Amino acid sequence: MDKLAVELVEVFKLFKGPGGTDATAVNGIHLQIQDGEFFSLLGPSGCGKTTTLRMIAGFEQPSRGEIFIHGQPMAGRPPFHRSVNTVFQNYALFPHLTVAQNIAFGLEMDNLPKAQVRRRVGDMLALVRLEGKENAYPRQLSGGQQQRVALARALVKQPEVLLLDEPLGALDLKLRKEMQIELKHMQQQVGITFVFVTHDQEEALTMSDRIAVMHQGNVLQVGSPVDIYERPADAFVAGFIGESNFLAGQVAERNHQEAVVLVDNHLPIRVSLEDALVNIGHAVTLVLRPEKATLHSPGSCTEHCWAGTVEETLYLGTDTRYVVRLTDKSRIVVRNQNLHASDAQNFPPGSPVHVGVHPSALRILAAS
Amino acid sequence: MTAAPQLWSLRRDRWIRRIGQNWLVAHAALAFGFLYLPILVLVVYSFNQSRFNAVWKGFTLDWYISLLQGGGSLGLLQREGGGLSGGGIMPALQNSLVVAVVATLLATVLGTLLGIAMERFRFPGRPAVEALIYLPIIIPEITMGVSLLVFFTLVFRLVENLTGWRLNLGLPTVIIGHVAFSISFVAVVVRARLVDLDPVLEEAAMDLGANEWKTLWRVTLPLLWPAIFSGALLAFTLSLDDFVVTFFTSGVGATTLPLFVYGMIKFSVTPAINAISTLMLAASLVLVLSSLAVDRDAVRFG
């Protein structure tokens, strides 16, 4: 597990923009992807994640920096000499070939004997549950089936690394959820390194072993889903992955583990420092996940409490989302689970409430 | 009281619209008449028993039969055609087919490669090549014919001065002339299809281990095949029908069917000409329609 499948060393990609100015798509990133890992590149559109994937595949050459696949430098090596395969965003199935011919394409390029090709295509059809469809043309298949053919066509080559470029983007929500789980199981089954590009944070959290969050050509944070969600490296990550409340404050005291932060017009709150580099007097941002705060009727709040009034109540089934206006006029979003059928009616808009915050729920960031 | 004028204006509008619609129909009928009536007359009179086009004397297939027999049973055809080319209609037809087949093959290969190069590769001077590709399509055919003739004369003289070999105009020069104008048509048709072809399919092929050459053979060309075929049919039709360029680039003995028909007309217009023209029309029609059908078929891959 400690062998590197893919390594990017200070990789830049510049594109010629209009008027001779270069646009930076990828801005000197470092990545180390472990063998057998499900690794996601997550970010909004235009963040450089697809360009990064295309550089690993060999469709684009880095402007600077180096890419290694299993220790081999990839500079100048065309896509057909790399032991990686790609599942494309809109599948890119060959429309003039049948399902079986599509899957066999890569093996035929390797000049494998016909019998072996037939056997491996059969195995793949079974893996993606498309037996009986081998003679259909791509246009005769549903979106989900086309997706599976694309997967089979790439996996049949038994690549060292499988690259997936938003492969589930074209599917409807229910099918996408099914495919997420199926894809994850398949990855565990075949044991191939997956590099998965997506802009869907929930998808990345569900499927990945580790995630790299990208923004404007930079990698902002690399970590497990829990790391990324619970300990976001900066305000962008905190805002992009899930929902966050941001509270501005100032450090009043600190020791090795903790800082006391003054949030405007509120009582001082003691927060665990973790890896944040802040000192007394520094402006900081506290990140609070909506589900980590609780709503109480005035008087029943036992934790660190902020008083306010409910402005909006949104019933979401499993939980209820409240917007609370605090006494200092700032707004805070709180999500509480509906443990009882009556929970949603507890705090209609206009109710005076206390927002309870446990200090361990807060993440401290140096203000940018 | 206020409703009445409105009603009137409504009725007036309806009348104007109806007149407009009728006028449009009449206009379209006239346009089609101008286009197709002469052709219709030509086809009808190819079945006329009379030797002269002016009077209808009854239905016959004799002209077609005599054509199929090489004009042998009609001394007329043999003599008049012979005046120009030293051969009958069958040698002319044979020349036309040889020229069309060879020119189509060459123009299809070259035009396809040109179309692919224009769309898929960035090279210096591409915009200039792009403009030049359309030139043979818009240039007056007579200019093309004259320039080819001048070109061949120059080259022939150069070759004679250098090697002593004496070259003459003939079928090869006709073929080169036809290839010269057909390439553009093939390239334009192929390119139009290539624009719709997602480059990611070619990337997918390379991703799966196909080098550039295999990608071209296994993915690009099969997907372009309908356009290539369609372009080839177009080139074939153009070559078969061409008069002007052929006129300038053919030497003695290289008479094609259009030249032969032209030669016959100089003496008299007989129903035999009508019959030949009808057959050429039918052949062109079949080719153009199949070219369109192939291109439409391509949509199912799209």
Per-residue pLDDT reduced to its tens digit, A235-272: 999 999 988 999 888 888 888 888 888 887 677 888 88
The one-letter amino acid code at A145 reads: Q
pLDDT at B107: 96
**CB-closest option in B208, B300, B302 to A109:** B208
Based on the fold, state whether residues A250 and A233 are members of the same structural domain.
Answer: no
pLDDT at B87: 55
User: Using 50, 70 and 90 to split pLDDT, how confident is the model at A161?
Assistant: very high
Based on the fold, state whether residues A205 and A221 are members of the same structural domain.
Answer: yes
Give alpha helix (H) positions in B164-220: 171-196, 199-207, 212-215
pLDDT at B78: 44
pLDDT at B302 > cutoff 60: no
pLDDT at B81: 40
Beta pairing, strands A193-198 & A161-165: parallel
Q: Give the number of C-alpha atoms closer than 13 A to the C-alpha of residue A123, restricted to the C-beta side.
A: 11
- The number of C-beta contacts closer than 8 angstroms across A and B is 63
Based on the fold, state whether residues A330 and A286 are members of the same structural domain.
Answer: yes
Based on the fold, state whether residues A143 and A223 are members of the same structural domain.
Answer: yes
The CATH number linked to A324 is 2.40.50.140
Contact between B209 and A109 using a beta-carbon 8 Å cutoff = yes
Please state, in angstroms and as integers, the Cα–Cα distance from residue A169 to each residue in A103, B71, B171, following that order. Answer: 22, 69, 59
Average pLDDT over residues A56-82: 93
A79: three-class secondary structure by DSSP: helix
pLDDT at B53: 65
**């009043």: which residue's tokens?**
A252
User: Using 50, 70 and 90 to split pLDDT, how confident is the model at B77?
Assistant: very low
pLDDT at B300: 52
Q: Which residue has the higher pLDDT, A23 or B175?
A: B175
Contact between B205 and A78 using a beta-carbon 8 Å cutoff = no
pLDDT at B86 > cutoff 50: no
Cα angle for residues A209, A215, A221 (degrees, 5° grid): 40
Gap between the Cα atoms of B260 and A92, Å rounded = 52
Element (H, E) at A212: strand A210-215
Q: What phi and psi values does residue A223 have, to the nearest 5 degrees?
A: 180, 175
CB-based contact (8 Å) between B204 and chain A? yes
Average pLDDT over residues B11-21: 84
CB-based contact (8 Å) between A96 and chain B? yes
Picking from A238, A268, A285, the residue at the C-terminal end of a domain is A238
Based on the fold, state whether residues A220 and A135 are members of the same structural domain.
Answer: yes
Could you tell me which of A157, A8, A5, A159 has the C-alpha nearest to residue A75? A8
The CATH number linked to A31 is 3.40.50.300
**CB-closest option in A96, A110, A157 to B301:** A96
pLDDT at B222: 92
Q: What phi and psi values does residue A83 have, to the nearest 5 degrees?
A: -85, 45
Per mean pLDDT, which range of A35-49, A216-230, B244-258 is the poorest?
Answer: B244-258
Contacts of A90 in chain B (CB under 8 A): 198, 200
Mutate to test the interface with B, among A16, A60, A80 (most CBs of B within 10 A): A80
pLDDT at B284: 83
pLDDT at B73: 41
Gap between the Cα atoms of B269 and B53, Å rounded = 7
pLDDT at B112 > cutoff 90: yes
Report how far Cα A127 is from the mean position of its chain's Cα atoms.
26
Per mean pLDDT, which range of A58-67, A175-184, A285-294, A342-351 is the poorest?
Answer: A342-351
Average pLDDT over residues B8-25: 84
Q: Which residue has the higher pLDDT, B184 or B21?
A: B184
Reported pTM: 0.78
A192: three-class secondary structure by DSSP: coil
Say if CB A26 and CB A12 are below 8 A apart: yes
Based on the fold, state whether residues A256 and A234 are members of the same structural domain.
Answer: no
Contacts of B220 in chain A (CB under 8 A): none
pLDDT at A186 > cutoff 70: yes
Based on the fold, state whether residues A204 and A152 are members of the same structural domain.
Answer: yes
Q: Which residue has the higher pLDDT, B287 or A38?
A: A38
pLDDT at B79 > cutoff 60: no
**CB-closest option in A80, A84, A92 to B200:** A92
User: Using 50, 70 and 90 to split pLDDT, how confident is the model at B254?
Assistant: confident
Average pLDDT over residues A293-300: 87
pLDDT at A265: 65
CB-based contact (8 Å) between A174 and chain B? no
Picking from A223, A238, A253, the residue at the C-terminal end of a domain is A238
Based on the fold, state whether residues A186 and A62 are members of the same structural domain.
Answer: yes
Q: Tell me the shortest Cα–Cα distance from B124 to chain A, in angstroms.
A: 17
Average pLDDT over residues B75-95: 58
Could you tell me which of A74, A79, A39 has the C-alpha nearest to residue A57? A79
Question: So what's the architecture of B72-301 in CATH?
Answer: Orthogonal Bundle (1.10)
Q: Which residue has the higher pLDDT, A174 or A93?
A: A93
Nearest CA in chain B to A81: B209
pLDDT at A334 > cutoff 60: yes
Contact between A80 and B211 using a beta-carbon 8 Å cutoff = yes
Contacts of B222 in chain A (CB under 8 A): 96
Gap between the Cα atoms of A177 and B17, Å rounded = 57
Give alpha helix (H) positions in B46-140: 62-68, 75-85, 89-120, 126-138
Contact between A94 and B204 using a beta-carbon 8 Å cutoff = yes
Sequence-ordered list of residues with C-beta below 8 angstroms from that of B149, at least 6 positions apart, any chain: B169, B248, B249
Report how far Cα A14 is from the mean position of its chain's Cα atoms.
24
Based on the fold, state whether residues A128 and A161 are members of the same structural domain.
Answer: yes
Picking from A190, A206, A238, the residue at the C-terminal end of a domain is A238
Say if CB A214 and CB A40 are below 8 A apart: no
Say if CB A161 and CB B207 are below 8 A apart: no
pLDDT at B298: 58
CB-based contact (8 Å) between A284 and chain B? no
For the stretch A115-137, pLDDT in tens is 999 999 999 999 888 989 989 99
| Structural domains counted in chain A | 2
CB-based contact (8 Å) between B40 and chain A? no
Gap between the Cα atoms of B90 and B21, Å rounded = 50
- Per-residue DSSP letters for A85-153? EEE-TT----TTS-HHHHHHHHHHHTT--HHHHHHHHHHHHHHTT-TT-TTS-GGGS-HHHHHHHHHHH
User: Using 50, 70 and 90 to split pLDDT, how confident is the model at A274?
Assistant: confident
- Per-residue DSSP letters for B250-291? --TT---HHHHHHHHHTT---HHHHHHHHHHHHHHHHHHHHH
Q: Tell me the shortest Cα–Cα distance from A215 to chain B, in angstroms.
A: 25
pLDDT at B235 > cutoff 60: yes
User: Using 50, 70 and 90 to split pLDDT, how confident is the model at B84?
Assistant: very low
A297: three-class secondary structure by DSSP: coil
User: Using 50, 70 and 90 to split pLDDT, how confident is the model at A70?
Assistant: very high
Mean predicted lDDT score pLDDT of chain B: 83
Average pLDDT over residues A346-353: 89
Based on the fold, state whether residues A182 and A310 are members of the same structural domain.
Answer: no
CB-based contact (8 Å) between A78 and chain B? yes
Gap between the Cα atoms of B250 and B229, Å rounded = 27
Q: Tell me the shortest Cα–Cα distance from B248 to chain A, in angstroms.
A: 44
Based on the fold, state whether residues A250 and A125 are members of the same structural domain.
Answer: no
pLDDT at B109: 96
pLDDT at A56: 96
- Report residue B180 as tokens: 């010269």
User: Using 50, 70 and 90 to split pLDDT, how confident is the model at B5?
Assistant: low
Say if CB A211 and CB A224 are below 8 A apart: yes
CB-based contact (8 Å) between B221 and chain A? no
Report how far Cα A100 is from the mean position of its chain's Cα atoms.
33
User: Using 50, 70 and 90 to split pLDDT, how confident is the model at B297?
Assistant: low
Could you tell me which of B209, B186, B215, B210 has the C-alpha nearest to residue B120? B215
CB-based contact (8 Å) between A131 and chain B? no
Contact between A94 and B219 using a beta-carbon 8 Å cutoff = yes
Q: What phi and psi values does residue A248 have, to the nearest 5 degrees?
A: -85, 140
Contacts of B216 in chain A (CB under 8 A): none
Domain of residue A353, residue span: 243-366
- Report residue B144 as tokens: 């093309």
CB-based contact (8 Å) between B301 and chain A? yes
Q: Tell me the shortest Cα–Cα distance from A83 to chain B, in angstroms.
A: 9
pLDDT at B214: 94
